[in-house]
């Protein structure tokens, strides 16, 4: 082994109004290791040590675009043939690598041991390794583990697994106190915008998970109201509930409608008058509407299909249909959590074809028959579909980009207008 640096439980499906095609077959997705790309930038004192293969290392380095001169806050402890064949003691090797890493990087506040497909195949118990190393480095660094294996998951679930691992570490909220906890990674600029809006609404204290530094973990308890910023953090939501927190039901903060409803859910739980919400949000809504108007003419009437990839598909489809005038042909999502998506599903039109899971060949057959103006899909499918004359949008870009909130609504619409614009130029 060497180091290379560089549902809340609920029945699946929305009910009889929107029938769901459930598909099981060949899948085309990234693994959960991709979540490290945005998590290591967000949690500034954390380090992510992947226990995996050279393929894992190449994936991370390619996805993150790490410069050769940079020393990122992630690395891969590479499993070699001797490790996989059981000829080497993987735990001894892991202890050695962790010792070298912590000796070189004294700034690490939390070390995540991240499981991968290879480490899970050989049954390397990273939970026990984290427990053993935590005892050895007690008082020096917090050591946690989670799985980012892509065997049965999609890539955004890597973040969910990471945040779920943090929940037991959060301090207890004192009895009688209350707080708002926003769950799901947001770019710093978006987090700051939301923090200002919550302050203007009179909602305080407000915490975000993940925090920017693990030395400032948010408190959690029966007085915590949880507002989900991302639709793929279901296990984290359940873990918060298990510690007494209450999940606020709301659409996700994409576009004007979603962001306003999201903020309104927090305001209502806090007992804040609707007049205050209107006054606080009106300037931002005006800016957002003005920005959206520039892209609505390019998007209105265009037909769009989503292949299952990121779990953002349903809220993004709602935004594009209701605020940009696009026609939804098919909305596919890897997993459908009825409770976490209830508010979004109520806003989808009855005409939409909704699918859960993936049978790639069948979905591609439908896509070719539908011939939508735009297809949202994973990187591995985009170029082949473009070669067939279909315009595509990379779904992973929607996870990397600042797209939440009022001030990003026009930027979000522009991400979908751009490939349509490019396609029009290619036809000239």
- Residues near 95 by Cβ (< 8 Å), separated by ≥ 6? 132, 133, 136
CB 17 within 8 A of CB 342: no
Q: Does 240 count as an annotated binding residue?
A: no
**Do 179-276 and 285-427 agree at the fold level?**
yes
Quote the CA–CA distance of 95 and 188 in Å, as a whole number. Answer: 34
Question: Rounded to the nearest 10 degrees, how much is the dihedral formed by the CA atoms of 10, 12, 16, 22?
Answer: 180
Quote the CA–CA distance of 395 and 312 in Å, as a whole number. Answer: 8
- The pLDDT confidence band at residue 57, using thresholds 50, 70 and 90, is confident
Residue 278 has pLDDT above 90, yes or no: yes
CB 392 within 8 A of CB 345: no
Side-chain-facing half-sphere of 163: CA atoms under 13 Å:
33
Q: Across residues 127-149, what is the average pLDDT?
A: 93
| DSSP H helices in 9-125 | 35-42, 54-64, 81-84, 90-104, 117-121
> For 179-276, which CATH superfamily applies?
Nitrogenase molybdenum iron protein domain (3.40.50.1980)
Cα–Cα separations (whole angstroms), residue 36 to 111, 311, 380 = 12, 17, 19
CB 320 within 8 A of CB 312: no
The burial of 409, by beta-carbon neighbours within 10 Å (0-12 exposed, 13-18 middle, 19 or more buried), is given as buried
Length of the chain in residues, anyone? Answer: 428
Q: Does 117 count as an annotated binding residue?
A: yes
DSSP for 93-140 reads HHHHHHHHHHHH-TT-SEEEEEE-HHHHHTT--HHHHHHHHHHHTTTT
pLDDT at position 59, please? Answer: 77
Interior angle at CA 258, CA 256 and CA 259, nearest 5: 65
pLDDT at position 268, please? Answer: 97
Q: What is the pTM of this model?
A: 0.91
Q: Would you kindly state where each structural domain of the chain is located, as residue ranges?
A: 31-153, 179-276, 285-427
Highest mean pLDDT among 73-82, 105-114, 149-158, 258-267: 258-267
Residue 23: strand pairing partners: 357
DSSP for 396-417 reads HHHHHS---SSTTHHHHHHHHH
| 356 phi and psi angles, rounded to 5 deg | -125, 135
Residue 314 has pLDDT above 80, yes or no: yes
- The pLDDT confidence band at residue 10, using thresholds 50, 70 and 90, is very low
According to CATH, what is the number of the domain 285-427?
Answer: 3.40.50.1980
Question: Hey, which CATH number is domain 31-153, 3.40.50.10860, 1.10.260.40, 3.40.30.10, 3.40.50.1980?
Answer: 3.40.50.1980
Quote the CA–CA distance of 30 and 161 in Å, as a whole number. Answer: 15
CB 378 within 8 A of CB 396: yes
Work out the mean pLDDT of the chain and round it to a whole number. 89
Q: 2-4 and 74-78 as β-strands: parallel, antiparallel, unpaired?
A: antiparallel
pLDDT at position 80, please? Answer: 64
Quote the CA–CA distance of 108 and 137 in Å, as a whole number. Answer: 12
Q: Is the peptide bond before 172 cis (omega within 30 degrees of 0)?
A: no
pLDDT at position 291, please? Answer: 95
Quote the CA–CA distance of 411 and 408 in Å, as a whole number. Answer: 5
pLDDT at position 4, please? Answer: 43
Quote the CA–CA distance of 331 and 342 in Å, as a whole number. Answer: 15
Q: Across residues 324-334, what is the average pLDDT?
A: 96
Quote the CA–CA distance of 141 and 107 in Å, as a whole number. Answer: 9
Structure tokens at 175: 């009895």
Q: Across residues 343-370, what is the average pLDDT?
A: 94
Q: Does 31 count as an annotated binding residue?
A: yes
DSSP 8-state symbol, 172: B
- Give the N- to C-terminal CA distance of the chain in Å, as an integer: 54
pLDDT at position 66, please? Answer: 56
């Amino acid at each position: 082994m060497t180091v290379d640096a560089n549902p809340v439980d609920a029945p699946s499906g929305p009910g009889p109004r929107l029938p769901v095609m459930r598909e099981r077959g060949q899948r085309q997705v990234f693994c959960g290791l991709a979540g490290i790309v945005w998590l290591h930038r967000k949690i500034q004192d954390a380090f992510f040590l992947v226990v995996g293969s050279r393929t894992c290392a190449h994936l991370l380095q390619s996805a993150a675009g790490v410069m050769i001169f940079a020393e990122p806050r992630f690395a891969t402890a590479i499993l070699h043939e001797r490790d996989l064949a059981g000829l080497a003691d993987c735990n001894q090797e892991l202890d050695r690598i962790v010792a070298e890493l912590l000796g070189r990087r004294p700034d690490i506040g939390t070390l995540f041991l991240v499981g991968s497909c290879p480490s899970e195949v050989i049954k390397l118990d990273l939970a026990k390794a984290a427990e053993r190393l935590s005892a050895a480095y007690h008082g020096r660094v917090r050591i946690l583990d989670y799985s980012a294996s892509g065997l049965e998951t999609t890539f955004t679930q890597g973040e969910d697994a990471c945040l779920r691992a943090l929940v037991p570490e959060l301090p207890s909220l004192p009895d009688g106190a209350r707080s708002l906890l926003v769950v799901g990674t947001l770019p710093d600029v978006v987090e700051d915008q939301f923090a200002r809006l919550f302050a203007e609404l009179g909602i305080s204290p407000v915490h975000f998970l993940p925090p920017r530094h693990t030395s400032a973990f948010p408190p959690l308890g029966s007085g915590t109201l949880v507002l989900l910023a991302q639709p793929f953090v279901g296990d984290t939501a359940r873990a918060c509930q298990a510690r007494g927190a209450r999940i606020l039901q709301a659409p996700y903060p994409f576009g004007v409608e979603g962001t306003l409803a999201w903020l309104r859910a927090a305001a209502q739980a806090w007992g804040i008058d609707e007049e205050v919400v209107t006054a606080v949000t009106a300037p931002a809504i005006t800016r957002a509407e003005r920005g959206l108007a520039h892209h609505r003419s390019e998007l209105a009437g265009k037909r769009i299909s989503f292949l299952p990839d990121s779990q953002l598909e349903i809220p993004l489809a709602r935004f594009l249909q209701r605020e940009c005038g696009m026609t939804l042909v098919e909305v596919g999502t890897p997993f459908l959590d009825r409770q976490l998506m209830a508010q979004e599903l109520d806003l989808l039109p009855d005409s939409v074809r909704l699918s859960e899971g993936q049978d790639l060949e069948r979905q591609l057959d439908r896509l070719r028959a539908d011939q939508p103006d735009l297809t949202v899909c994973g990187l591995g499918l985009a170029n082949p579909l473009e070669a067939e004359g279909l315009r595509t949008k990379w779904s992973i870009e929607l996870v990397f980009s600042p797209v939440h909130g009022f001030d990003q609504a026009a930027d979000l619409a522009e991400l979908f207008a751009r490939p349509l614009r490019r396609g029009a130029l290619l036809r000239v």
